Amino acid sequence: MQTVILAIHIIVAITLIGLILIQQGKGADAGAAFGGGGGGASATVFGSQGSGNFMTKTTAILATIFFITSLFLSFLSGKISEQKAESVEVSNQVQQIEAEDKPAMPVTESAPAETTDKPAIPVPAQ
């Protein structure tokens, strides 16, 4: 689910960047984009003003989709981190219970160690 939303988010982002770069500012003449003069703007697919309105509406729709997918991905990311935190907490509790079940030092029924003046580790002569 998250992978599909992320793929849609990336496609919308790239398309949105392209549409924004294609658009001209409000001060630019619409006919200049299509070669200018001689009725070139009126012969376009969208008409002289239709191109601007179409691109503006498309940009607004894509920006809305981008915003929604951003929020949804943020929500999913929070859910996943909560699940990981819960699993880590359960794992820590299991380790704590296992540690409490084991004695601190193993209890053995052996004879007491002999006390001698010799060190336990031999020291090499110098």
Compare 125 and 23 and report the one with higher pLDDT.
23
Model-wide pTM > 0.85: no
At 37, the pLDDT band (50, 70, 90 cuts) reads low
pLDDT of 16 reads 95
Q: pLDDT tens digit string along 54-91? A: 888 999 999 999 999 999 999 988 877 777 766 766 67
Task: Look at residue 46 and tell me whether its pLDDT is greater than 70.
Answer: no
Task: Look at residue 115 and tell me whether its pLDDT is greater than 80.
Answer: no
**86 CB-contact burial (10 Å; exposed 0-12 / middle 13-18 / buried 19+):** exposed
